[in-house]
Structure 1
Amino acid sequence: MKIYCKMEIGRGKTAIEDRVLIGSTVLAGGSYQAEAPDSDSPLCIAVADGVGGNSAGDVAAHIAVNSLLSFQLPEDIKAEELLQIIRDTNMHIIEESRRVSFLYNMATTLSGLCRVDRKWLLFHVGNTRVYTWSSPYLSQLTTDHSKARELRLMGMSDEEIERTGNATAITACLGNGDMVFAEALRVEDVTSEVAAAQMVLLTSDGVHEFIPREIFERSLQSANDIDLYLSQALSCARQNGSSDDLSIILVDLRC
């Protein structure tokens, strides 16, 4: 199994608000490529996207992934225990935002996978995403916690949603000064879904909101050079109008 990542700061920004965790490595930009440890070792892969409308999104995202890094995951951790770890992290983000004025209401999304005891646990809150790909289909494991999704379920078209001005608003996250925003947080066993997949893909919204699903599916079919593929994906998002931070992680399960 090989893991690849590429990140890019948003246009006109002075600091990237995304954070990526791969094993024992925290990334805040650039590229990454490595062999994953053997299947008996705990492994955590995550992407956190600091909420740009609030202050210190980068700090919130860093706390989120760093808490998973600093906590020594037992090999037999249960979904309920991982859920509690992330809830404790949420409380820490809230407490820090109340204690330090320039961190007021800082918030972040968090999505990822933990491999423990030969199981894969999915955790998710916000609008970062986790997908599996099994040729030729891409399947989204996460559900967006977003205003756009709520409006879409009400029957509104993408054009109508865009006109509301709420297309990018999220409805759940870690932090934001109140425990209620993390109530949508979920941890679930997705071992069977990952076992059936050839690849796993994690993205921040700056990527997936600007690349149509069918482009992802079709391009993965011919992705022989994964590093080049990730570079092309970021370029595609930019060409389609994304000015946000970009983060994309690909786990190649075929290796």
Structure 2
Amino acid sequence: MEIIFFLINYFLNGENMDFKKIINKGLKKIFEFVESKEEGNHKIPTKLDIEEKNNIDNKYNIEIPEKPQNIEIPKIEPKLSEIKSTENINRNEIIFEENNAYGVSHKGNRENNEDYILIKKIKDIYILAVADGIGGHNAGDVASKMAVDILEEVITKNYNENLSIEEIKKLLKDAYNTAHNKIKENAIGDKEGMGTTLTTAIVKGDKCIIANCGDSRAYLIRDGEIVFRTKDHSLVQALIDEGHISEKEAMHHPMKNIITSALGLDEFKVDDYEWDLIDGDVLLMSSDGLHDYVEKETILKTVSSNNNSKDIVNELLKIALEKTKDNVSIIVYKKLTLKN
């Protein structure tokens, strides 16, 4: 992760280096670390595709600045059931459906599916979640399912209809902290370095409360336009924020898979959002297997041209599978128009 701090320091502190050189040097250093990981010396908490290495020349020496102090996350200790194994679960295609919410997680063009999703009605709320695991061997799929299982258990056990919006936000962050700590505790042996993104929506009447860590996303789409969207915890998002690249350029950027926050990793933070819903709104949630490969205009056209959640998801999945190199997870919740 030191290379991420190196790059961000250069971009944000205004060093007088050519932008392209920074990117090229950054990529070279990442692959030096990837090679040394095989010898057990370093771990790189990224989702960078190794095949991109073929585009990189050999090596530059870069002095890495000292890593900032890690933020200590307070532990909470609810009594959680034993973590469920993923070994006997068919992860090739996972489908959830609950009234006006529908979701699919598909292995896409990868051998294994490291994504996991959840749609569940709990009392007067819907809980919707997308997790995208990272880590070698079987670590990514373990981390993503562990996060979703703990999220589901914490919310189911502690939610009641009298909670305020602020109390729901706190409950979500407690669930994230619990999952983060549990993943770190289990990141040993061939699971070392595992982590996961996690984007969660709780829909309660006309309110939608979002918690986000990583680069999975939630969108609120109204009248064919994106009115709200979560902000990715990623290097390319930092470049967008600084005006170095556009959102369209970010889709094709060679470092688009580098995330700067995830459950289970030292770099961990959770953003929360509160959105108002009106009749006809569409809440779309996805892993980067969709939004890194399917353009915004195509997503909006697909949402507008289909009337129900299942049709939207299935058409978006079909489009994504023609383009993506990753697992694909998509959830759609549609706030139904009230009939007189």
User: Considering the TM-score relative to the shorter chain, is it more than 0.5?
Assistant: yes
1:225, distance to aligned residue in structure 2 (A): 5.2
Q: Identify which of 264, 279, 300 aligns with 1:217.
A: 300
Q: Distance in 1 between matches of 2:202 and 2:212?
A: 11
Identify the match of residue 101 of structure 1 among 166, 186, 189. Answer: 189
Residue 22 of structure 1 pairs with residue 119 of structure 2: yes
Aligned equivalent of 2:268: 182
2:173 to 78, 83, 92: 83
Q: Which has the higher strand share?
A: 1
Cα separation, 2, equivalents of 1:162 and 1:253: 29
Question: Quick one: distance in 2 between partners of 1:52 and 1:197?
Answer: 38
Deviation sequence 1:93-137 (CA, Å, 0-9, x none): 11111xx31210110000011235874321001110001111121
Q: Is the 8 A contact 2:197 2:263 kept in 1?
A: yes
Residue identity opposite 2:288 in structure 1: D
> How do 1:33-182 residues align onto structure 2 when only pairs under 5 Å count?
41-51=124-134, 56-71=139-154, 72-75=157-160, 76=163, 77-97=167-187, 100-115=188-203, 119-157=207-245, 165-176=254-265, 178=266, 181-182=267-268
Q: How many residues align?
A: 231
Of residues 87, 107, 111, the one that matches 1:9 is 107
Unaligned runs of 5+ in 2: 1-98
Q: Is the 8 A contact 1:120 1:189 kept in 2?
A: yes
Unmatched 5+ residue regions in structure 1?
Answer: 24-35
Q: 1:170-196, CA deviations, whole angstroms, 9 ceiling, x for partnerless residues?
A: 1111112x2xx112x123333x2x346
Which of the pair has more CA radius of gyration? Answer: 2
Specify which structure has the bigger relative contact order, considering alpha-carbon pairs within 8 angstroms and separated by 6 or more residues: 1
Q: 1:121 to 1:9 in 2, by over 3 A?
A: same
How far the C-alpha of 1:162 sits from its partner, in A, is 7.6
Given that 2:302 and 2:315 are in contact with CA atoms closer than 8 Å, whether structure 1 keeps it comes out as no
The root-mean-square deviation of aligned C-alpha atoms, in Å, is 2.6
One-letter amino acid of the counterpart of residue 185, structure 2:
E
Paired AA for residue 93 in structure 1: I
Distance of aligned partners of 1:41 and 1:17 in 2 relative to their CA distance in 1, 3 Å threshold: same
- The Cα shift of 1:54 comes to 7.8
Give 2:326's aligned residue.
Answer: 244
TM-score (structure 2 length as normaliser)? 0.62
Q: Counterpart of 2:134 in 1: which secondary structure? A: coil
Deviation at 1:63, TM superposition (A): 1.0
